[in-house]
Amino acid sequence: MADRETISLAQMPIAGFLSWLVPGLGHIYLGDRTRGLICLVVITVTFWTGVAVGSVQATVAPQARKLWFMAQLCSGGNTMAAVGLHHLVDPKSAWSPQQAVTPYWASADVGVHYTGVAGLLNLLVILDAIGRGEPRAFARREEQEPTKGRQ
């Protein structure tokens, strides 16, 4: 765990990578547990709600929906787990361009939008974790916060 005295530039990319891997984990690593847990719950629930609405085969389809898949990739571990499920459910079409079929039901589009938005929200969380890992960010926050005991 990082604290205000031991923060270093090396923690910025670590916090960003952890936030990509599991939404909010970078904030937890930096010591901001509440923010990290809120990000974890909101992004994970949004992503898996989209998968539940649109089905794992139609929602996370790397070959059929390339641009949406790039947005979903920002959700990191959630996307990798969903791709793994897609591969378990339908091993032929997971990565094969010949087998990729865009589904025609409306709930698949809703699911894709949910998962894509969850990925883009996680991109903001990643950037926020990187920014909070910067040593000067702690100094600015300390200047703005009133000191304890002084009224």
State pLDDT tens for residues 23-72: 999 999 988 999 999 999 999 999 999 999 988 888 888 877 889 999 99
% of the chain exceeding 90 in pLDDT: 43
103: tokens are 């589904």
The whole-number average pLDDT for the span 126-149 is 70
% of the chain exceeding 70 in pLDDT: 74
| pLDDT tens-place string over residues 76-95 | 999 999 988 888 887 666 55
Q: In the prediction, which pLDDT does 140 show?
A: 55
Long-range contacts (CB closer than 8 Å, 24 or more residues apart) made by 21-29: 21/76, 21/77, 22/76, 22/77, 23/75, 23/76, 23/78, 23/121, 23/122, 23/125, 24/125, 26/125, 26/126, 26/129, 26/130, 26/133, 27/125, 27/128, 27/129, 27/132, 29/1, 29/2, 29/129
Q: In the prediction, which pLDDT does 57 show?
A: 80
pTM, two decimals, is 0.75
Q: In the prediction, which pLDDT does 142 show?
A: 60
Amino acid in position 141: R
Q: Please report the DSSP string for the chain in residue order.
A: ---TTT--TTHHHHHHHHHHHSTTHHHHHTT-HHHHHHHHHHHHHHHHHHHHHH-HHHHS-TTT-HHHHHHHHTTTHHHHHHHHHHHHH-TTTSS-TTT-----SHHHHHHHHHHHHHHHHHHHHHHHHHHHTSHHHHHHHHHHSPPTT--
Q: In the prediction, which pLDDT does 26 show?
A: 93
Instruction: Give the pLDDT band of residue 101 (cuts 50, 70, 90).
Output: low
- Report the mean per-residue pLDDT for the chain: 81
